[in-house]
């Protein structure tokens, strides 16, 4: 039996997820796509033989939908996830779970009240082969105990006209916040932030230094106007060695006294495989009820929001800010036995 899927939001991310569920993973059936803009929903749905609509609540309520993908605007995420939980639907929600950590706590409370995990968060980098290999190298003892992790996130330019310096931390950095937690298996204690000046007047980069409960130092550069290309780098430094991400390249051109390899203009080529594996894991999650081993939970969404809030304060006030997280609920502990 195929898993019957409904998608909320027919923008860039919704369209990518629709394609993946329709073409790139087996065992899924794309049934319904809703969007506030009916024409946009219709155009996307028709491409994959699905039905379209405009009402997310109605989608969540339908009995012929097994699982929901949320790719609507950030502020709608938490309310829609709560609606899914109420309706007993398994949900894959694009990050962030909520920009507000308080809302994340509300989702966690509702999920725990239901007694079973139903919320997977779209931190797809956990499914990227590079980070997976980094994590395996650490686990297998190839580099000794983890000491530092350096992360660089670079976009060609601002995703939108009203982008602010805060959003570099609340919108772009969460992927880094989460994947460093995923790789290291520790939480953050404090954050300090620095921001160089751009003469172009664009939103400049932010350099953050995070201290973890494991005694590690994590650096994160978020550079939304790096100009030269979409580029994500990372290095995990251990007491006996180091492991670095490599961006997969497929060919190289030699011409005009130059050796050239291309950068992508956005994140999609770099993380296409990660999205595919994430959504594959989600389909298996819906089928089996077992939360994906590498999946991000509501707890991980909460952790990212708390750190982002502290980061914004650190940048604004020019000081080291201690991160105040609640202790991890038993409900969200991974059972490793």
115 or 256: whose CB is closer to its own copies? 256
Considering Cα of 70, then 74, then 79, then 85, what sign does the dihedral take? positive
8 A C-beta contact, residue 22 and residue 46: no
**Tokens 């398994």 correspond to what residue?**
90
26 or 115: whose CB is closer to its own copies? 26
CB of residue 133 to its own copies, shortest distance in Å = 4
CB of residue 290 to its own copies, shortest distance in Å = 16
- End-to-end Cα distance, the chain: 30
Considering Cα of 129, then 131, then 133, then 135, what sign does the dihedral take? negative
48 or 331: whose CB is closer to its own copies? 48
107 or 312: whose CB is closer to its own copies? 312
**DSSP bridge pairs for 111:** none
41 or 134: whose CB is closer to its own copies? 134
CB of residue 25 to its own copies, shortest distance in Å = 6
CB of residue 255 to its own copies, shortest distance in Å = 3
From the list 175, 172, 90, the residue with the least C-alpha distance to 126 is: 175
Q: What is the CA radius of gyration of the chain?
A: 20
CB of residue 209 to its own copies, shortest distance in Å = 5
CB of residue 140 to its own copies, shortest distance in Å = 10
Contacts of 311 by beta carbon, 8 Å cutoff, 6+ apart = 169, 170, 173, 191, 193, 206, 208, 321
Task: Report which DSSP code applies to 76.
Answer: G
Question: Cα 36 from chain centroid?
Answer: 23
């Amino acid at each position: 039996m195929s898993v019957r899927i409904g998608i909320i939001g027919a923008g860039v991310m919704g369209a990518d997820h629709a394609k993946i569920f329709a073409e790139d993973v087996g065992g899924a059936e794309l049934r319904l796509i809703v969007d506030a803009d009916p024409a946009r929903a219709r155009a996307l749905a028709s491409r994959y033989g699905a039905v379209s609509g405009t009402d997310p609540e109605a989608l969540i309520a339908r009995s012929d939908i097994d699982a929901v993908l949320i790719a609507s605007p950030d502020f709608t995420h938490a309310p829609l996830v709560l609606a899914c939980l109420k309706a007993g639907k398994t949900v894959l929600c694009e990050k962030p779970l909520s920009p507000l950590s308080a809302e994340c706590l509300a989702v966690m409370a509702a999920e725990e009240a239901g007694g079973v995990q139903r919320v997977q968060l779209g931190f797809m980098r956990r499914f990227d082969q590079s980070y997976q290999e980094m994590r395996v190298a650490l686990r297998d003892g190839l580099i000794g105990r983890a000491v530092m992790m350096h992360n660089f996130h670079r976009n060609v330019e601002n995703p939108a006209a009203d982008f602010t310096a805060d959003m570099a931390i609340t919108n772009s950095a969460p992927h880094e916040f989460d994947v460093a937690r995923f790789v290291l298996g520790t939480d953050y204690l404090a954050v300090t932030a620095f921001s160089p000046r751009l003469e172009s007047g664009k939103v400049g980069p932010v350099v953050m230094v995070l201290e973890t409960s494991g005694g590690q130092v994590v650096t994160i550069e978020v550079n939304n106007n790096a100009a030269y290309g979409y580029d994500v780098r990372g290095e995990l430094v251990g007491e006996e060695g180091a492991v670095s991400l490599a961006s997969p390249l497929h060919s190289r051109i030699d011409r005009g006294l130059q050796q050239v390899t291309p950068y992508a203009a956005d994140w999609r080529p770099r993380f296409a495989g990660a999205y595919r594996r994430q959504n594959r894991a989600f389909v298996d999650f819906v089928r089996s009820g077992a939360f994906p081993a590498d999946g991000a939970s509501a707890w991980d969404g909460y952790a990212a929001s708390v750190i982002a809030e502290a980061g914004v304060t650190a940048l604004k006030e020019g000081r080291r800010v201690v991160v105040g997280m609640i202790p991890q609920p038993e409900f969200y502990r991974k059972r490793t036995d």
